[in-house]
Structure formats: C-alpha cells, structure tokens
A and B are shown apart, each in its own frame.
Chain A
Amino acid sequence: MKRRRFDLAAVPGKAAREVDDRLQVNTPLRSLLNKVFPDHWSFLLGEIALFSFIVLLLTGVYLTLFFEPSLREVTYDGSFAPLRNTHMSAAYESSLNISFDIRGGLVMRQMHHWAALLFMASIIVHMMRIFFTGAFRKPRELNWMIGYLLFWVGFLAGFTGYSLPDDGLSGTGLRIASAIMLSIPVVGTWVTTAIFAGEFPGHIIISRFFIAHVLLIPGLLVALITVHLGLVFKQKHTQWPGPGRTNSNVVGERMFPRYALKQGGFFMIVFGVIALLGGLVQINPIWLFGPYEAGVVSAASQPDWYVMFLDGSTRLMPPWEINIPIGSGYVIPPLFWPTVVLPGILTMVPLFYPFIEARLNRDRELHNLLQRPRDVPGRTALGAMAVSFWLVLTLSGANDVIADKFFISLNAMTWAGRIGLIVVPPLAYYFTYRICLGLQQHDREVLAHGVETGIIRRLPDGRFVEVHQPLGQTDEHGHGELEYVGWVVPKKMNRLGALGPAIKGFFYPIEKPVEAPVSPGHPPVEPRAEREEIGSGGSR
C-alpha cells in the first residue's frame, strides 16, 4: 500500500478551510483578528479589573463548593482549637472549614478577597484615567455610565461577600447596613423588614445575600462588562494624539497576534500578583473575629477600603437630629445624611458628568483623541477635588487606627476630618489648576524657545544665558513657530527627534549614550563628528 504524503505545514490551513466551510467564520474573524488597538500603559488599567474579575469567578466557584449559606446554629468541632465548642452559624462554620480543613481553601479565600480589593481598586484607577484624559466624551458617554454602574455593582458584590462568612466583623457591617436602611425616612422600617425578613439579623439574610452574591450580582456584572467591552469594540478605543493619529483613525497593534499575546501575558501577571498576595499576605482573618454576636464588637472594625469613605462620612457627621413634629413626632437621624444622601449624590452626579460637561462647554463634537490632563485644567482640578474629598473621607473611615498608631487624639482626627473635608478639596482644586497652567506654559515655552541644553554661555558684556536647542525652524529672534498638538513636548536633549526615548530597555538603556570627555585635559581621542552649532535664542 502506498503511503500518502503527509504535509505538516498544510495542516493548519486545511483545518481552517474545513472549519470555514462549515461555520463561515473567515470574514468576521479576519476583521476581528485584524482589529487595531492603540498601545499605552494607561489603557491596561481596565484590563486589571477584567482579569481580577476572572480570578474572582474562578476562586468564587471553588468557595461555593464548600460554603453553606445558612444561619442554622451549630457547635464548631473543626481543627481551629480556640473556637472549638463555640456556638456559631453554619455559614461561619463552613467559612472556618474552608480556611482550615479544606485543601487549598484558605489560599482560595484569600485570593478571592484580594482579587475583590484589586477589582475595585483597578476600577477606581481606570475610572480616574478615563476621567482625567476626557475619554468619556461623546460618543462614549454611555460607556462611562456603564463603567460607573460597574463600580457600584462591584461595591454591592463586595459588601454582600464581606457579610457572608457571618464572622464578628461582617456581622458588625451588616448591623450598620441595617441601621442605614432604618434611617431612611418613611420607608426605612419597611425596607429593613423586607430585606432581613423581620428584625435584624433574622434567619434568612445570609441565604439571601448568598444568592445575590453568587448569582444575581455576578450575572449583572458579567452583563455590564460584556456591554462595556462590546462598546469599546464598537466605538473603538480612544488614543493619544501624535504623529499620524487623528480623530478618525486608530493607530496601534493588530489584535492578533501581538495585542492578544500582550493581553494574555498581562492576565498571567495579574493572576500571579493576586496569587502571591493570597498566598503570602493574610486578609480578613475571620477566625480571630469569632462568630457574630450582637454584643461583640471589636476595635478597628472597618469595612473594606471601597466602603470606608461611607464609614468616614458617618464618623465625621455631627449629631444633628431633625425632629419633625408631625403626629407623635418624627425623627430623621443624622446617619441618613452621610450614608444615604451622600452616596445618592455621589451616584447621580458622576453618572451624568459627561453630559454636564458637554452642556457647560456647548460641546457637540465627537472626540476620539484623548486630552492630556494639563490641557483641561478645569476638569483636572475638579477631579483632584473629588479625589481629595474621597481621600479625606476614606482616611476618616480608618481614623481610629490612624489615631492609635500615630499617637494622635481620636477627637483631633475627627475634627481634622471635618475641617479637612471642607478645606482640602478647594485647595486641591486651586493647586491642581495652577500646576496644570504651569505645565502648559512650560510646554509652550519649550516650543517657542527650544530645549534647555544645560550649556551656559557668557556674553561679551558679562551676562550669562542658557543655550536653548530649538525644536524646529526659528524666526530672526530665535523663536520657534511650532504648534502644540496635545502630546508630549521633548524637554531633554536626548529625547529630541522622537516622542519618547527611542531605544531603552526596561532596566538599563540598550543604546549607551556617547561618553563625554573626562576633563578638558583629556580631550576625546578621535575627532568628533561635525555638529551644527547650537543656537541660543536671541543672544547672537
């Protein structure tokens, strides 16, 4: 029998043709794989969130296999001796079992928690990038809103997850949540009763939170993330201005193979960082908190960092109680303002910010090019104001820990927070605005006069001037006429001729700079190449 010749090189092509014959994916796949993505490090921040969400799903599935979402009372008999014979809920017992008795359970739990913190952190940082570069402008307002909702849905996911183990800390958090719900005028009591099925804590809240945490909220997250990414695909990614980059094109790398490889690698790195944190750094040691009991509360009880700003606003709120003399009297507790009204404002205003800004600027254009933060000082300063506001609140959320560890009076911390909340944001606005203007001015100055060379020339009349290297053609006064195009202006001599350092390794430069002569007594052996004389502005 004659053997047929086997051509290995033809196998992929043949296989692909067979697949295409049946599924007809050739044309759509070609355009998909050839889709171009612009490349900049700041475009990878959202990916951190996406990848940590994947880690959350993977580790979460593992935890679900062993977690028992029930408030049934049991007596612990596991391997953690200090809690043996303690009465606790089945939820807490199974969380302890995950931590101590199930293979890989603790590292999975810790990875899950670290991934949750990273998910929220990268959402915030990504959102800051979007905000400060103006990527949310038309046509991408909808994606900004979806992204912002993703933060709040992630917030809910985090809070429900934080409550599930039913340890002392999460029970304290749940108690505060029930108090917040109770503080809502008119409907508060009904809302609380509906959620807890009666009085706090009831017998069903963990089961309800479990379903929300493992099914409803992740489902919502997946749906929103899908739309979010779909819109990025559809509307194309924004890009920085630069040579060849216009408002109507995208300059970058094809999705396949380079971009996909880079993303795959970045996923591995994110996974690795989370795994390292999960394996090396302890998070949420529920076995020290003990089971939740209403009478037990620990010092330094804080929510996770993304909820801490609400804790801070509660701590800073003065005890202003509003009594309304209707009927037998009605009270709006002070808790209502920092935990219901404030988040309400914080949800609504940023959600519609793209439209607010467009309305204020009377801006109806499509924007596919990003703006450098310094070029829009008003927005940048507003962002800095928001960040500082949030930072004061978050620090106040941990003010007891700060007071204790830095030997400051807790009362002083509270007052510093109250005053800081009013004083710091305007200051942040002012200074950011001024810094932006300064940076703008420096860019314009370099475009007009050239790069500072560090060479000081003494003139015949005794004056000293610094020699500048013009970036382009100059007029008779030595002034350049280059226009600012919204991208980095070279400020150092060795960065001339390119928009960034041309050949540079990660740890050390690949291309070594020419060595300078050691001293006037030791001139370079070889005559140096002829160079143009360096002009010095108007001094010649």
Chain B
Amino acid sequence: MTSDTPGGDRSGGLLSRLRRARSTPRGKTRRRLGAAVRLLAALILAGGAYTVFAPGLQAQDTPKLTTAAQEGKSLFDTSCVSCHGRNAQGVEGRGPSLIGVGAASVEFQVGTGRMPLARQEAQAEAKPPVFSDDQTTQLSQYVQELGGGPQVPPGENLHSGGSIDEGGRLFRINCSSCHSFGGGGGALSSGKYAPDIKSASDRQIYAAMLTGPQNMPVFGDNQLRPEQKADIIAYVQQTLAEDRDPGGLNLGRLGPATEGIAIFLVGMVALIFAALWIAGKS
C-alpha cells in the first residue's frame, strides 16, 4: 500500500518535513522555539478566522430585523436575557433556547403571563401578563425572525366553521386525559398539572396545541390539522366554556369526588338536622 511508505518525496510539503525533523534529534532551545512559533501561528489563524466570519454574521443579521422585532429585541434584552441568553440561545440550567420555537410559543407563554417566570418550579403558572399585547407581539416578532417556527393564524376567532361534534370527539381522544372531560384541568406527576382551559382564548388554545407549552405534547399540523384544531376550539368554547349545565350547579365538573362531598355536606347534614328536629318534637 502506498500509505505504508512514509517520508517519500512524493508527498513533500509540511508533513514530510515534520517527520524528517522529528527523526533527527534537535537542541532543547530549538524545540521550544518551534513550539512557540507554531502556537502563535495557530492563534493568529483562529483569531483571523473569527474576525473574518463574526462580523459577517452580525452584518447579515442586523438588517433583517423589522422595527417590531427591534422593539422586541430591546424588551428581550431587558426581561428575558437572564434565562434565555443573548440572542435567545438559552442558558444551561436556566432557560431553553428559543431558536425555532416560533411566535406562537411566545404569544402563549408571554400572553398568559407564564413568562417571565416567577421562579423555577415544576411548571410555569398563568399570571396576569407582564407585557401588553403590543409588547407581546413585538417579542413574538423578534423570536420569529430569530429562528422561525410555528405561528398562530391571524384573527381572534379561530373556531368559526369548526364542528363541535367532531371537536368533541377529538377533545375526548386528545385532551380530556389531562384537561379532564369538563376542561377543568387535572394533576400530572410531581407538581405538574394541566390547567383549566375554559377561560382560555381561541388564540391561546391554538398556540398551546401548536407549540406544546410546559408539559403539554405538541399537536402539530400533521397530528391535528388546522381545521381539526378549529373543531376542538369550537367544542371548548361553545360546549365547555359556556357553563350551560342542564342539570343545575355543576360542582366544578370534578366528577364523583365533589358529588360525594356534596351528598355528605348537603344531603346528610340537612337530613340529620331534620332528624334532630323531628325527634325533638315530642
């Protein structure tokens, strides 16, 4: 094999010279000097490459940001950067990278007050939002332009044309195992939970399905098509969120747990008082 013949003049260049140099013994001073020269050359090469490429990145990126995204970036750099890092690349152990999460994710997390986070815990809690709608849009725009990702379609009403019967079927298959049959939410392991969805807006539900915030799985457009999402939102908004309980007080729609409490606290207590009253009449 040709590679088995080292030091051939054929190869020439640096490699052969190095090998030749190593094969002949040298003085200590010369060896040290050579090492220093090589280190210097490597540093110059690395530094040079950085100066060539790094400004290029900035120069390419900066003009791409629209005005709204610029505003969003300044908001980001004051409120989000401590956990999500510069340019939303994420900080190990504090916050994930936001490259590619899309405007939908920002709209949900910031719009419902989950972000900025109050503290690191099992799951971010919905709070009164810190940013106004305009600011949320600017932040979304910034994250969107940074790395792309899913976006919620425009408009406030995203369930027009959705069919509630199909939505109900999809809800029971996909959503009720965590959010419960009545949409009131439920517990997950280790302090995580699926929140109440009855008060959520169309856009929030859509964004949640699209991005899978917190512990929710992602229901991308290949799992639930946009029209199926509209069906689900229609079911949530027109059947669950409107508290039209034909049977009366719904007891929080928590199932037999609250019904059991009710029969003791209301039924039994009332009847024991009645028994006290009747037995006292003698």
**Chain A interface residues toward B at CB < 8 A:** 39-45, 48, 81-86, 99-100, 106, 110, 114, 117-118, 121-122, 125, 168-169, 253, 262, 265-266, 269-270, 273-274, 277, 279-285, 288-290, 293, 295-306, 308, 394, 398, 400-405, 408-412, 504, 506
Contact = CB atoms under 8 A, between A and B. Distances in A.
B186 A283 contact: no
Contacts of B250: 282, 285
Given A169-B255, A253-B282, A301-B255, A282 B275 contact: no
Given A401-B257, A410-B187, A288 B279 contact: no
29 contacts: A41-B272, A41-B280, A42-B275, A85-B165, A121-B264, A121-B267, A262-B278, A262-B281, A266-B274, A266-B278, A282-B249, A283-B259, A285-B250, A285-B253, A288-B253, A289-B181, A290-B172, A295-B173, A296-B172, A299-B181, A299-B186, A300-B181, A300-B184, A300-B257, A301-B255, A305-B256, A398-B257, A409-B190, A410-B191
A124 to B, nearest CB: 9
B46 interface: no
B273 to A, nearest CB: 9
A168 B255 CA distance: 12
Interface in B240-282: 240, 245-251, 253-264, 266-268, 270-272, 274-282
B165 A273 contact: no
B275 A299 contact: no
A26 B191 CA distance: 71
A308 to B, nearest CB: 7
Q: Is the interface of B mostly helix, strand, loop or mixed?
A: helix
Contacts, number: 210
Interface string B122-136: 100000000000000
Nearest to A279: B248
Nearest to B188: A410
Given A82-B164, A86-B169, A277 B245 contact: no
Chain A to chain B: the 7 pairs with minimum beta-carbon distance, closest first: A305-B260, A299-B186, A282-B247, A41-B279, A409-B191, A44-B275, A398-B257
B257 A409 contact: no
B267 A277 contact: yes
Interface residues of B, number: 64
Contacts of B260: 117, 304-306, 308, 394, 398
A281 B262 contact: yes
Contact of A303 (B172, B256, B264, B267): B256
Nearest to B186: A299
Contacts of B184: 300
B246 A282 contact: yes
A300 B254 contact: yes
B247 A84 contact: no
Given A41-B275, A290-B169, A284 B259 contact: yes
Contact of A281 (B240, B251, B255): B251
B177 A118 contact: no
A348 B180 CA distance: 37
Contacts of B248: 110, 279-282
Contacts of A110: 247-248
A84 to B, nearest CB: 5
A279 to B, nearest CB: 7
Interface string B111-154: 00000000000100000000000000000000000000000000
Contact of A300 (B164, B255, B282): B255
B245 to A, nearest CB: 5
Given A39-B282, A282-B250, A506-B277, 18 more contacts: A41-B276, A41-B280, A48-B268, A81-B164, A82-B238, A121-B267, A277-B262, A282-B251, A283-B247, A284-B259, A285-B247, A285-B253, A288-B182, A298-B180, A300-B184, A300-B254, A398-B257, A403-B193
Contacts of A265: 278
Nearest to B196: A404
B255 A82 contact: no
B208 to A, nearest CB: 16
B97 interface: no
B253 to A, nearest CB: 7
Nearest to B282: A39
B72 interface: no
A299 B164 contact: no
B271 A269 contact: yes
